[in-house]
Amino acid sequence: MGALDDWRFCPRCGGDLASAEDHLACASCGGQYWANAIPGVQGILERDGCVLLARRGREPRRGFWDLPGGFLQETESAVDGLRREFLEETGLDVEPVELLRIDIEPYAGRHVFSVTWLVRGAGDPVAADDVDELRWFAPDELPEMAFPGQNLVLRDWVARQAAEAAEA
């Protein structure tokens, strides 16, 4: 279960929690709790063959490079969350162009259901919110990323770049 490993008491009534087949259950009030992945979104913004990356200003993995994005709010759609996160971190209004991939990846003792889009947006990005720096990287100069799944995402992006160049 991971995220619920340390749970001992029901957050609703304070009763004892017991392990069920794939979740925790409270015998007192009937509450049931699952360790679901946290929904997150991120985008690849490309210009002149380079991708925009953000240096993390907060833990976990502060100082490492990251794709602009973040967690969804409770009732927020994935596309609205993508737009909000990009605006907060870069000052750019973006539009998703194509869904690139969906991954489940570890994050600070939890797992993130991570949705990645190719996006487009105009203007000059400015680091804000939890981002210390923004920089454009060419496919052959990509840095170490904050999270392992992002290396896979960028590998897919590089492969797409190479395929598009071969077709041209």
Domain with CATH 3.90.79.10 in the chain: 38-167
pLDDT tens-digit profile of 84-107? 999 999 999 999 999 999 999 988
Query: Residue 150's pLDDT band (boundaries 50, 70, 90)?
Result: very high
What's residue 100's pLDDT? 96
Q: Class of the 38-167 domain?
A: alpha beta
Q: For the residues 128-139, what does the mean pLDDT come to?
A: 97
1 pLDDT above the threshold of 70: no
Q: What is the 3-state secondary structure (H, E, C) of the chain?
A: CCCCCCCCECCCCCCEEEECCCCEEECCCCCEECCCCEEEEEEEEEECCEEEEEEECCCCCCCCEECCEEECCCCCCHHHHHHHHHHHHHCCCEEEEEEEEEEEEEECCEEEEEEEEEEEECCCCCCCCCEEEEEEECHHHCCCECCHHHHHHHHHHHHHHHHHHHHC
Q: 110 versus 43: which is more confidently predicted?
A: 43
Q: For the residues 116-144, what does the mean pLDDT come to?
A: 97
pLDDT tens-digit profile of 46-60? 999 999 999 999 999
